[in-house]
Structure 1
Amino acid sequence: MSCEEIRVFAVGFEGNCDLYFTDDEGLECDYWKKECSLGHQIFRNISNDVLMVRPHPENNMTPVFEKMTDQEMQPGCGVHFTLHYYKDYNISEEGLPVAFSVLVENKTYSMYCTNDGAEKIIQFREEVVPREILDNSSDIIFIQKSFSPTNTKAFKFESSLMRGYFLAFKEENNLRKLILKECQKEDQVDEVTVINVSPV
């Protein structure tokens, strides 16, 4: 099935004056399409640490939360994220489909989730976030959900590929690492999954 634009045709009026349409194939197209992007966003955890992506000796990008001053947050240092918002043609979600990219040393990296053995982890790869995603699940799409109706900057981000797993932070080897954490209940209050998003 092609995900090109589908032409629709009026097929008539019912007695209650409702207008009905049909498409060429009688099928709808399943995909995500990028609608807009918000650049220069800073992510913080509940301790007000800033999410930073930095090169790793093994050529991986290590996402960690660190204490930083405003003066330290220079362009290209791995703290300025872009949120890419997608329109969901696929399923009805209680939240907004988003993807994340970050500029590190003049290269653009996108965040994705993957498996490392039995563990589900977050990694970054060098790529530009695509305009359209034709699969019905994607390792780069996360569902942005409000954490509190009174805090417009606090969100939870659930993996669209690994449902029930949310971005979170975890203390490990003196680092506050960005991880995927399983939350059994949707309304479960877990502050390690709260990420505050604000412009620079």
Structure 2
Amino acid sequence: MDRRRQSQDEVLLEKPKSYDAVDAFKSNSKDGMNVRISNLSNEQLIVDPQKFAIFESVKDAKAEATFCLHIYAESGHEIDGLPVAISCQISEKKYILEASNSVDDPLNSVNFLEKQLPRVIESKTSGLIFYLQEFSTGDSSFRFESSLHKGFCLAWNSEKKLILKRKQSIDEKEAFRFSENN
């Protein structure tokens, strides 16, 4: 056996050099966890790329949306929680939730954009990554803190549109719940 040739398992277990060299997020798997996302009023999150993402009552919703939480491993980050990217599929198109780089108005800077989910994000922050955090210890409600805008979490405004809001100003009425959707 040639010592210069590594077994396939050894090669697969090696981390890419670029991942070791910089702060990065790396997808744990190709598949994520399919969920329905709702608020505490039992309104479902619905995505219409023309109108952004909004919460609607289940009886008013045109169709229940299924989202996929993609779990990422991280290197060198300071925010507590599980790093995830949130995607959904509408017809044949895949959309990813992204916080924009807008520092002028971070409150209104989240949209579902048509794009492919990257396997590796070589950056300390990303508009695609949100940290899934328990809202209260032992509770089944959650919040999503933005990786790009530290201290800002997903919430919704009076029109029920998905936005970013300062973490300190979010109360328990603005928590998220999700249920598995197979």
Report if the CA contact (8 A) 1:50-1:65 is conserved.
yes
Does 2:66 align with 1:80? Answer: yes
Deviations 1:126-159 (A, max 9, x none): 112111100111111011111122223x111110
In structure 2, the partner of 1:97 is 83
Counterpart among 88, 112, 128 of residue 116 in structure 2: 128
In structure 2, the partner of 1:181 is 165
Deviation of 1:192 after TM superposition, in Å, equals 4.5
The 4+ residue runs of structure 1 with deviation greater than 4 A are: none
- Residue 168 and residue 107 in structure 1: after superposition, are their counterparts in 2 closer, same or farther (change >3 A)? same
The aligned amino acid for 2:155 is: A
Which has the bigger relative contact order, CA under 8 A and spacing at least 6?
2
The aligned amino acid for 1:139 is: G
Runs of 5+ consecutive residues of structure 2 not aligned to the other structure: 1-14
Q: CA–CA distance in 2 between the matches of 1:145 and 1:131?
A: 22
The aligned amino acid for 1:155 is: F
Q: CA–CA distance in 2 between the matches of 1:179 and 1:139?
A: 13
SS of structure 1 residue aligned to 2:118: coil
The aligned amino acid for 1:135 is: S
Alignment of 1:124-163 (within 5 A): 124-152=112-140, 154-163=141-150
Q: CA–CA distance in 2 between the matches of 1:62 and 1:165?
A: 18
| TM-score of the aligned structures, taking structure 1 as reference length | 0.72
Q: CA–CA distance in 2 between the matches of 1:158 and 1:192?
A: 16
The aligned amino acid for 2:82 is: L
| % same residue | 32
In structure 2, the partner of 1:65 is 55
In structure 1, the partner of 2:5 is none
| TM-score of the aligned structures, taking structure 2 as reference length | 0.79
My pick for the range that moved more, 141-150 or 27-36, is 27-36
Larger radius of gyration: 1
The aligned amino acid for 1:127 is: K
SS of structure 2 residue aligned to 1:118: coil
